[in-house]
């Protein structure tokens, strides 16, 4: 895990002397460079994305009030590996794009995010109630049944949403695809939140 988290830092160290002092650090929806910055900004990116995520996953179980995360066992470790690897890959992609001064295709990032949605959607249906991972609303944390039903729905929606994001990234143009990505992300986020409230109210009445 440490090796995975350090990949962007090692890659940046290898190409550091080949980089100019000013490198592209931001692109618009069409993949065109719209801001340059000092190459030291890439240091923050390489360290912040994967190492911060990995560090948080190490710390969180020790501050979990009810030790729910430790009860997840291998599932928690799998989520930690998935998110750390994703952040490491994203950092490498951005550093590579800065080196070549081209984003190649912004849809590649959305494809990675779509894949992440699919993986998380699979885990949602098996995650136990906790304060750190999952769809954490006042209603899911209050009631075990609401947590399970919300994550069952959320898991299916995130899985389907991930497939939709990937398909849109492969088929549609860059600008249109990003708009649909935001819409899909909004739908798979908001609907489970609303459902958790409605489910809680329904159970309360019963």
Q: Which of 127, 182, 178, 175 is nearest to 154 (CA)?
A: 127
pTM for this prediction: 0.80
d(CA 66, CA 160) in angstroms, rounded, equals 32
What are 100's two structure tokens?
């070549």
Mean of pLDDT over the chain: 85
Which pLDDT belongs to residue 7?
92
For residue 102, give every residue at least 6 positions away whose Cβ sits within 8 Å of its Cβ, in sequence order, or none: 31
Contact of 133 with 71, CB cutoff 8 Å: no
What are 43's two structure tokens?
């240091």
Highest mean pLDDT among 31-40, 89-98, 179-188: 179-188
Place of tokens 């009860």: 71
pLDDT band at 108 (very low <50, low <70, confident <90, very high): confident
> Where does residue 169 rank: exposed (0-12), middle (13-18), buried (19+ CB within 10 A)?
buried
pLDDT of 116 above 70 = yes
What's the rounded mean pLDDT across residues 103-132?
Answer: 84
**Which letter does DSSP use for residue 16 in this model?**
G
Name which of 7-21, 96-110, 163-177 the model is least confident about: 96-110
For residues 144 and 48, the model is more confident at 144
């Amino acid at each position: 895990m440490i090796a995975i988290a350090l990949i962007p830092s090692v890659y940046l160290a290898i190409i550091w002397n080949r980089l100019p002092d000013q490198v592209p650090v931001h692109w618009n929806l069409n993949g065109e460079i719209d801001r340059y910055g000092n190459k030291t900004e890439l240091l923050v990116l390489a360290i912040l994305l994967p190492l911060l995520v990995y560090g948080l996953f190490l710390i969180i179980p020790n501050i979990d009030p009810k030790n729910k995360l430790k009860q997840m066992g291998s599932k928690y470790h799998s989520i930690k590996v998935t998110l750390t690897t994703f952040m490491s890959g994203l950092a490498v992609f951005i550093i590579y794009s800065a080196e070549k001064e081209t984003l190649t295709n912004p849809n590649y990032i959305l494809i990675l995010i779509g894949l992440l949605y699919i993986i998380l959607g699979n885990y949602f249906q098996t995650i136990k109630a906790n304060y750190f991972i999952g769809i954490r609303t006042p209603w899911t944390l209050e009631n075990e049944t609401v947590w399970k039903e919300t994550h069952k729905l959320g898991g299916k929606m995130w899985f389907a949403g991930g497939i939709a994001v990937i398909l849109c990234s492969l088929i549609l143009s860059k600008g249109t695809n990003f708009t649909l990505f935001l819409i899909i992300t909004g739908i798979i986020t908001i609907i489970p939140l609303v459902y958790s409230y409605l489910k809680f109210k329904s159970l309360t009445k019963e």
